[in-house]
Structure formats: structure tokens, C-alpha cells
Amino acid sequence: MSPLSTLSYLYTLGLASYASGLVITPSTSSDGGDLTIQTCFKGETSSLLCYRGTNGTSQDVTPADVAYIANYLRRYGRENPKKPNFLTMKGADTADCGEWSLYTRKSAKAVAKHLDPKIDSSVLFEDIANTIDGGVKTPGNATIPITHHASVADCLSDGGSLGVVVNATHPAYLTPEYLAPGFTTKGILIKIVASGVTGEPEEDE
């Protein structure tokens, strides 16, 4: 089983282990304690928020690490072009706006937070990647970019958060498998925060 196939298997089971850094589990606090339940804040919205000044403490992440995270999640999302991978956060699994760690790369960690426990949210990993870095060049033509939008990467080393920017025209959102359970693309916030990792971990190229 390939690493990405293993990831898909672990995600399906809701488990929490992936050697190169990708995990989909309740997030942890800055002091390492498990946070299986988070808090729903009225002021926490899907709008772009950079952690600086009155908006919070700079996370001091390396932009290259943030770019790596986006590219990795995009690659995972495209593993099977006929059946792209989704991140699904159901209300029953994310009581009180739970947070799940997605991927850690050296200085940075990507976290998904469910903003509304009353809904079942599901988005493509490719859309999560685009939310982090704003989108990539059109495959096969490096001179023509896709529509580039505001992204968490615009916060540079400070880190920040943004609700998933969804490509609603993607065919995967129009399939019976997506529509039948009553999923919505709303309600997932992507955060880039400090990983807390010190030193230089082994490369996982």
C-alpha cells in the first residue's frame, strides 16, 4: 500500500498516524496537551485573518514550509483523479468546533477547524491547498494561472486562518455520493500555526 493510500485508509478510520507528517486528529495545545474539544468563538469567521498585532501572536512560520504543506495536500487530493479526496468534518465528530491537525512541515502546521457543529462539512483537499497558497498554475501551461485568490500564505511568516475557498464547479461536488448525505462546503476554517517542532527533522521528500 502506498503512503498516500495508507493515509486514505487511516483517514477513513479516523486514526492519527502518518510518518511524513500528515495526521487528521484532534489538534493539540501549544504546551502539547490534547485538545479533543475546542471552543466556538463568535468572532472567529471564515474571513482571512493574519496572526499579527491585535489579531494574535505571529507564529513565525517559514513561508517555504507553508508552500510545502499546500503542495503536499494538493498532491494527496489528486491521488485518484476519478475520485478526489475530501476532508469531511461532521457535526457529531467535532463537538464545540473541534480542530483537526492536517499536516506538519518543520516550522508550520495546517489545522482544520469546524466552525458550526450543526452541519456536516466536506471539502476537497485540493480546495484546502488552494486556500493555503491561493492556487497554482494551470497544469501544462505555466504561464496561465488559475484564478488566484487571497490565501493564508498572504500572511507570510505570521500564519493565519481562512475559510476554505471552494471551487463549486468541481464535478466532485455534484456527484450523488457528495449530495446524498447532505454535505455542505461551508463551515471549515484552515489555520496555519507554529508546529512547535525544533531542529531540522529528517527530510520526507
Instruction: Express each pLDDT in 52-69 by its tens digit.
Output: 999 999 999 999 999 999
Q: Evaluate if residue 31 carries a pLDDT over 50.
A: no
Q: Would you state the pLDDT for residue 43?
A: 75
- The cell for 16 is 492519527
Domain spans, the chain? 3-27+40-194
Contact 49, 154 (CB under 8 A): no
Residue in the block written with cell 497554482: 136
User: End-to-end distance of the chain based on CA atoms, in angstroms?
Assistant: 18
Contact 193, 62 (CB under 8 A): no
By percentage, how much of the chain surpasses pLDDT 90?
62
Q: Would you state the pLDDT for residue 173?
A: 97
Order of strands across the sheet with 99-105? 22-26, 99-105, 108-114, 188-194, 160-163, 49-50
* CA pair distance 170, 174, nearest whole angstrom: 7
Q: Would you state the pLDDT for residue 137?
A: 59
* CA pair distance 62, 156, nearest whole angstrom: 8
- Measured in whole angstroms, the distance separating CA 86 from the mean position of its chain's CA atoms is 11
- The cell for 49 is 485573518
**Which comes out higher in pLDDT, residue 47 or 17?**
47
Residue in the block written with cell 488559475: 146
Residues 152-171 pLDDT 10s: 999 999 999 999 999 999 99
- The cell for 31 is 504546551
Q: Would you state the pLDDT for residue 8?
A: 36
Q: Would you state the pLDDT for residue 149?
A: 80
* CA pair distance 118, 103, nearest whole angstrom: 26
* CA pair distance 144, 185, nearest whole angstrom: 27
Mean pLDDT of the chain: 80
> pTM for this structure?
0.78
